[in-house]
Amino acid sequence: MNFAGVLQAVTDFLEGQGARHAVIGGVALAMYGLPRTTVDLDLVVDFAVQDALIRWLEARGYRTLHRSGGYSNHSHSDPAQGDLDFVYVRGETAEKLFGACRRVPGPGGREAPVPSPEHLAALKVAALKNDPERVFRDQEDLRFLVRLPGVDRGAVRRYFEDHGLGDRFDEIL
């Protein structure tokens, strides 16, 4: 996948729509300093842009594999265009998440917004709640995030507790 080119195209579209967005997933972890293998590009975006974004993606040749109010997944037959996953947020969640984003160099050196480590951890915890088998895949990511300088471990612990996974926080640390 051409991460730099795809990220550029998607963020240009989203910025043209005035939609808040941020890179999440494996690419965001790499932007924070944890290089790891990833095969897709994940972004969190304002819920309000979902319809326009999916129409734009489909016009560019992406096939929508799944769509719900909170998520959508897309795949392109050209490996350079790759797979894209989106998390849609609104309301208080969107305000908190986007309000704490920072811009850091990403693929191709282009700066892009990424959520705070605490919010990246919250997204990982929500994914764990929905699919407990992810624990082996995500525990190193979570361990890395909570050990970054200045991270509010208490906030991360509360995300675990809010999802009924308080015991997992101690295991991961």
The per-residue DSSP string of 65-108 comes to EEE-SSEEEEEESSTTT-EEEEEEE-HHHHHHHHHT-EEEE-GG
The rounded distance, in Å, linking the Cα atoms of 153 and 87 is 23
The rounded distance, in Å, linking the Cα atoms of 7 and 29 is 15
Please give the residue range of the domain that contains residue 20.
Answer: 1-115
Residue pointed to by tokens 């797979």: 83
Residue 122 shares a structural domain with residue 110:
no
Residue 58 shares a structural domain with residue 4:
yes
24 pLDDT more than 90: yes
> Of 92, 115, 138, which closes a domain?
115
Sign of CA dihedral 96, 150, 122, 85: positive
Residue 145 shares a structural domain with residue 106:
no
Residue 75 shares a structural domain with residue 154:
no
pLDDT at 133: 72
- Angle (CA) 128 129 130, round 5°: 90
Contact yes or no for 163/132 (Cβ under 8 A): no
- pLDDT, mean of residues 98-109: 93
Residue 128 shares a structural domain with residue 159:
yes
The total domain count for the chain is 2
38 pLDDT more than 90: no
The burial of 161, by beta-carbon neighbours within 10 Å (0-12 exposed, 13-18 middle, 19 or more buried), is given as middle
Residue 2 shares a structural domain with residue 83:
yes
Residue 72 shares a structural domain with residue 26:
yes
pLDDT at 138: 83
Residue pointed to by tokens 């929500």: 126
Distances (CA, A) of 121 to 56, 76, 138: 29, 28, 10
User: What pLDDT, in 10s, does the model give residues 41-99?
Assistant: 999 999 999 999 999 999 999 999 999 999 999 999 999 999 999 999 999 999 999 99
> Of 74, 90, 115, which closes a domain?
115
pLDDT at 165: 84
The three-state DSSP-derived secondary structure of 130-166 is: HCHHHHHHHHHHHHHHHCCCCCCHHHHHHHHHHCCCH
pLDDT at 172: 78
pLDDT at 139: 85
Does this model's pTM top 0.85? My answer is yes
pLDDT at 134: 74
